[in-house]
Structure 1
Amino acid sequence: MGFKLSVIVPYHNSEATLERTLLSLSNQQCEPIEIVLVNDGSIDHSHDIVKRFLADNNSGHTFLDISYDYQRGASEAFNIGLKNCTGDFICKCDSDDTVDADYYSALICVAHKENAAIVSSPMTVHSGRKTSVIKPFRGNNLNSMSINTANFSLCNRIISRELLIANSIEAYPHIDRWDDLGIVARVLALKPKTAYIQKPGYHYYLTPGMKSLSRSGCNKLLRDHLLCALLVEHWLTECGLNKEYAEFIHLLKFVSKVKMLRCSPRDVARWKATFPETNNGIMHLQQLSLTHRILFTLITKLPTGLSQWAADRF
């Protein structure tokens, strides 16, 4: 009998956190699962940690160790894991996060009980001493969903592998930010049966006090966001779903350019010129806070000098 679940764990230079992640995965209290570790060209001791851990592993779960010598990026690492996994369902675990011991068993149980292709859960976010729980949207109506981690992460949901295979869905190559969104958005657009568990079992760790993105880092993030928005729109159009999901496409393209106003220096002119059709109707974007809708509207309507002043209020 095959595995009910495959967990894909891409990692790159994760020596500080990887063992904690591996321990939480090996402690899963469920039928044997498949854990696919993909070393994305680490140059620290990450792969040594994996080899030592696997040598002592007696958890009953199966670990696959895939490694290559140069960094290909998060999306390619995930796709390699996806091609090598065999479970009925797949999910992802980041190499600095952890999962509760009963988390995957709860997701699998609900998937079989409700015959669901996707089962999602809230996730716990840890930032220093602060802890919060974020909840995903319940259902698969993309037009009603905010663009956020809980709604589009591959870490707090399991997805039918057959659903991905049948629709040729994998991560978009070379998109390492919003790589999860590019998959989850397309899957949800197909309106599969979805289910939900109330208990948050995935622990998402943020590094407090992280430095702001460098200019090159911000440009890479922007490139990924903008390209992902275009690729998702293209896919929906090819599937004849672009009219049905016009609201989602509008929001996705709008959110994809927001970093232009948050990375230094803020580029108001570029923001206005990128996907200019999204500058209309900002006040109708209910997924954004009222404060942000007002601020974005001001930036759109005001002359350049005043728009720059408004942008600097971020």
Structure 2
Amino acid sequence: MLATRNDRSPLVSVVVPVYNRELHLERCVSSLLDQTYEPIEILLVDDGSSDSSGQICDRLAESNDAVRAIHEENGGAGAARNAGLAAARGEYIGFVDSDDWIAPDMYELLVGLVGEHDADAAQIGLALVGGEEPNGQRVNSRVRVLEGKECLQKLMEDATFGVAAFSPCRCLFSRRALDSLSFREGVVNEDIDFVYKAFSGCSRMVFSEQVEYFYFQGGDSNSLGGLKSKDFDLYTAADILVELASKETYGSICHLAAVKRARTSLSLLCKIAYFGIADASINKRSTVASLQRDLRRDLPLLIRAPLPVSRKVLALLFAVNYRLTELMVHGAQKVGLG
């Protein structure tokens, strides 16, 4: 359902944190300027970039009335998003990462879904892409309307089976849904507890499977690269999630939060195996040994959890022999490249 535009259409504010994305920023902003929905404001929050991203933000703001440039000292994505939230004037709030892009009708679709169902938020499908690829399947998509704790249950199920479940970029939130919420600053994986809290504050949400958001997985994407010290913030984020979910008795929310926590060591081991270690202060041998201990401790929970079989097998392999599994991963990568 597309929104009907008129003089009283609600303003949508889109917060875009920007840090050293000079190669991809204009592609991202072009997809926002091409939106079929209006009115829209695009808040480019330069997070102390050391490349030309800040200048690109200024140039785009000077040439487009819908774009506003905000410059902050480097504080991470959480701080940049908070600055954007503070400056946003819209009735609805969305987020887009500066190396991603969106379909032309994404916000028209989201505003229409929220309005049609009198919801607090709406979510669309996401596709992982490696470049300028086709927009994917965007027809005959299912729409679900959920209320109360059902929204949290779906979030936690998606976190078990899906991709980027905790990304706020898939959603359009009413301002009231984000009232008093902010991202944790100076850390990574700050979006996990933010999205959980946002969903918990929604009385009704609309979920569409239509793919409208394109999550860039190219060479310098934020999601790629070797292990850094900050990647261990995932443990903190998972602990916070478990604490938040411990208050819930509906469905399997609490159990799935524990599964998410148990997967932390596996996620970090996978990152090391695929991309290596980028931080010279991290000792690979001792780090792998520590992560393996955590994985072995949590392995029974993971084996019983509603995870894909491939993920369970990978967990078992890493727990038994990291080095052999790493070699298998590298072999699979070479086959894929060939």
Q: Shorter-normalised TM-score: what interval?
A: 0.7 to 0.9
Map 1:114-133 → 2, pairs under 5 A: 114-128=117-131
SS at match of 2:159: coil
2:158 paired with 1:145: yes
Matching residue's letter, 1:182: D
1:105 to 105, 108, 117: 108
**Which residue of the partner structure matches residue 218 of structure 2?**
207
SS at match of 1:197: strand
Matching residue's letter, 1:145: D
* Counterpart contact for 1:12–1:39, Cα < 8 Å: yes
2:315 paired with 1:296: yes
Matching residue's letter, 2:92: F
Q: CA deviation at 1:18?
A: 1.3
**Which residue of the partner structure matches residue 68 of structure 2?**
64
1:46 to 49, 53, 60: 53
**Which residue of the partner structure matches residue 158 of structure 1?**
172
* Counterpart contact for 2:119–2:206, Cα < 8 Å: yes
* Counterpart contact for 1:28–1:102, Cα < 8 Å: yes
Q: CA deviation at 1:100?
A: 2.1
State TM-score, norm by structure 1.
0.81
Distance of aligned partners of 1:74 and 1:184 in 2 relative to their CA distance in 1, 3 Å threshold? same
1:173 to 160, 171, 185: 185
Q: How many residues align?
A: 296
Distance 1:57 1:83 in 2: 21
2:244 paired with 1:235: yes
Q: CA deviation at 1:16?
A: 1.3
Distance 1:115 1:212 in 2: 38
* Counterpart contact for 2:103–2:135, Cα < 8 Å: no
State TM-score, norm by structure 2.
0.76
Per-residue deviation, residues 101-129 of structure 1 (Å, max 9, x unmatched) = 22101110110110111211112322147
* Counterpart contact for 2:235–2:264, Cα < 8 Å: yes
* Counterpart contact for 1:126–1:132, Cα < 8 Å: no
**Which residue of the partner structure matches residue 301 of structure 2?**
281
Per-residue deviation, residues 173-210 of structure 1 (Å, max 9, x unmatched) = 2222x232222122234463111334322222221598
**Which residue of the partner structure matches residue 248 of structure 1?**
256
Matching residue's letter, 2:311: H
Single out whichever of 93-102 and 1-10 deviates more from structure 2: 1-10
Q: CA deviation at 1:53?
A: 2.0
* Counterpart contact for 2:143–2:208, Cα < 8 Å: no
SS at match of 2:169: coil
Q: CA deviation at 1:83?
A: 1.6
2:233 to 199, 213, 224: 224
Distance 1:248 1:163 in 2: 23
Per-residue deviation, residues 78-107 of structure 1 (Å, max 9, x unmatched) = 111112212222111111222222210111
Matching residue's letter, 2:169: C
Q: Which runs of 5+ in 1 are unaligned?
A: 301-305
Distance of aligned partners of 1:145 and 1:20 in 2 relative to their CA distance in 1, 3 Å threshold? closer
Q: CA deviation at 1:150?
A: 4.0
* Counterpart contact for 1:124–1:203, Cα < 8 Å: yes
2:17 paired with 1:10: yes
Q: Percent identity?
A: 23
Distance 1:130 1:31 in 2: 26
Distance of aligned partners of 1:243 and 1:271 in 2 relative to their CA distance in 1, 3 Å threshold? farther
Matching residue's letter, 2:62: A
* Counterpart contact for 1:90–1:161, Cα < 8 Å: yes
